Amino acid sequence: MTSNPWDTEAATFDDQPDHGLRDPVVRAAWKELLLPLIPAAPAKIIDLGCGTGSLSLLLAEAGHDVCGIDLSARMLDIARTKAAGIDVDFRQGDAADPPTTQTYDVVLVRHVLWALPDPDAALGKWVGLLNPGGRLVLVEGRWFTGAGLTRDECRTLVAAHRRETDVSLLDDPALWGKEIGDERYLLLSRY
């Protein structure tokens, strides 16, 4: 397995409250946010750019059939360790071009779209992974550093592939383990 820049981040990645979901308040906030957006268990979910697998595990623990994809072998090693005893299919691969021929009820992607060289092409592939009536769930933002996508930019990108794009701001400090001053949001597309 080849190394990539995210491999060097793996050892400390979960130190961020919203990455590791170690804080029970942060974990509960993500659970409260995501579970109502997901069809009844056992929905088939792919978590693209899953990192150390925190959201994959959260959804698998709720009874869903989850596949987590990440480019970083080290991130996936941590995810597999965290998943001991929990059935999650973790695979190494590019989130922009997922290594799967299966289809899913939900495509979940957190903080990945903004970093891709061709977000439109990636969205086309992601939408192609959805079963009829499937849901695209994106968690994105435009951060204080200037990086990222505004909610309007993200909505425009998704609208080229899907009819519906509902956006909700994610400004609750419980989700992040701290107060935030930048634009963070969730985009849900059902059709």
3-class SS at 91? strand
Which pLDDT belongs to residue 6? Answer: 86
Which pLDDT belongs to residue 1? Answer: 46
Q: How many domains does the chain have?
A: 1
Burial of 70 (0-12, 13-18, 19+ CB in 10 A): buried
Amino acid in position 164: E
- One digit per residue, the tens of pLDDT, for the chain of length 191 reads 455 888 999 999 999 999 999 999 999 999 999 999 999 999 999 999 999 999 999 999 999 999 999 999 999 999 999 999 999 999 999 999 999 999 999 999 999 999 999 999 999 999 999 999 999 999 999 999 999 999 999 999 999 999 999 999 999 999 999 999 999 999 999 98
Tokens in use for 26? 């942060």
CATH number of the domain encompassing residue 74: 3.40.50.150
Distance set, CA 47 to CA 33, 52, 91, 144 (Å): 15, 11, 10, 25
Domain with 106, as residue range(s), is 5-189
Which pLDDT belongs to residue 82? Answer: 96
Concatenated DSSP letters of 115-163: G-S-HHHHHHHHHHTEEEEEEEEEEEEE-TTS-B--HHHHHHHHHTT-S
Angle between helices 151-159 and 119-128 (to 10 degrees): 50
